[in-house]
Amino acid sequence: MSRTENRLVGIFTNHDDDIYCFRLELIQALLAEGYQLLVSCPDGPKFALMKRRYGLEKGKDFLYDDPPIDRRGTSILHDAKLFYHYYSLLRRTQPSTILTYTAKPNVYACFAAKLLHIPVISNVTGLGSVTQMKGMKRAIVMNLFRKAFRSADHVMFQNAENMHLAQEQHFVKGSCQLIPGSGVALDRFPLLEYPDGGNGVDGPTVVFNYIGRILHDKGVDDYLEAAKRIKAKYPNTEFNLIGFIEPTEGHYQDKLAEMERAGVIHYCGQQEDVLPWIRRSHAVIHPSMYGEGMSNVLLENASCGRPIITTDNPGCRETVDDGVSGLIYHGGDTNALVSCIELFLKMSNNGRRQAGMKGRNKIAGKFDRKIVVQAYLHCIQKEFMQKQPI
């Protein structure tokens, strides 16, 4: 069968959140173009949500594979099992092209596909915790990335710094391009009415959200410390944390409970729908020092018209115009974060609303997910045309 006859496209990632939150529109577009799909991703509640809200069902709309991924584990045995799983799956299904996302699928699905001469389009969704590694461990992981991305037929980068680093380190052998992160679905994250708010002392409570995994590298400790200082001086403020605690970060369970009892923060856990939390907020705080690709949290909040307070970290700073649609400070500097929050509290509420509007305009112009979907459709078609037999 020629590749133009085989229209099976594989999507490989490490979490069902990634499929529902960031790849759904691509899946819908591929199905609409007549492609068949293989989705390889650990099972989770977001697949039931896809069926309930969008009618997409495993087995009916796409072939489904539940791989044995230990996302943050370093066991060579577990990773070898994952590679063999991918190899067996790809040998059996023989997709025309596979799309890989997140660290381990980017490495092991890519290796397996190249052994079987299947084209690969990889997406660097950020270098994650690798940027914090030192010594031999960092060297080993970076070498795996280098070999994987050099094996890929095409690599998509979510921020310019990652792309420049990869090019300098000779990570890329095939073609590559810069895309605006995963983009944001403007209809799923519409412009929301901005709530009334005071100055933190008088008037309605000013609400700040942290949305994301509870993880040290995401700047959670800075957020907690800033919340403690601000609450002591500005009692009419609210600091929420929305997201799950990473299994490796279990110590936060007691810390968050203690700070909640003290009235400093509200820990809301993982939420199926974050829109109600964004709706009542005045700003999102994303204090990340993590190896982001492009922060989806910031794209989604800005799309809803919420000002951003974030770091100068790559993948964060691109989403905001400093002093226009939000505020940027140097990551890891808690004093600077506190100063940004105080500056925000001194703004008029209408000024905050206008900042949110400017953020929405920026996102709609540069980060619409349709841009990303079209880039993929073009790239996949190009692979079909280039790889078909003569």
| 186: helix, strand or coil | coil
Considering the domain 206-366, what is its CATH architecture? 3-Layer(aba) Sandwich (3.40)
- List Cα–Cα distances, 192 to 183, 188, 282, 359, in angstroms: 18, 11, 11, 12
Task: Kindly report, residue by residue over 208-255, the tens digit of the pLDDT.
Answer: 999 999 999 999 999 999 999 999 999 999 999 999 998 889 999 999
Residues 6+ apart with CB under 8 A from 173: 149, 150, 151
Q: Is the pLDDT of residue 344 over 70?
A: yes
pLDDT, one tens digit per residue, over 199-213 is: 999 999 999 999 999
Q: Which CATH architecture has domain 8-183+368-387?
A: 3-Layer(aba) Sandwich (3.40)
CA torsion angle 280 283 285 286 (round to 10): 90
- What is the arithmetic mean of pLDDT over 1-15? 80
Tokens for 109? 């699905």
Residues of CATH 3.40.50.2000 domain(s) within the chain? 8-183+368-387, 206-366
pTM: 0.91
pLDDT band at residue 390, thresholds of 50, 70 and 90? Answer: very low
Mean pLDDT of the chain: 92
295-310 pLDDT per residue, tens: 999 999 999 999 999 9
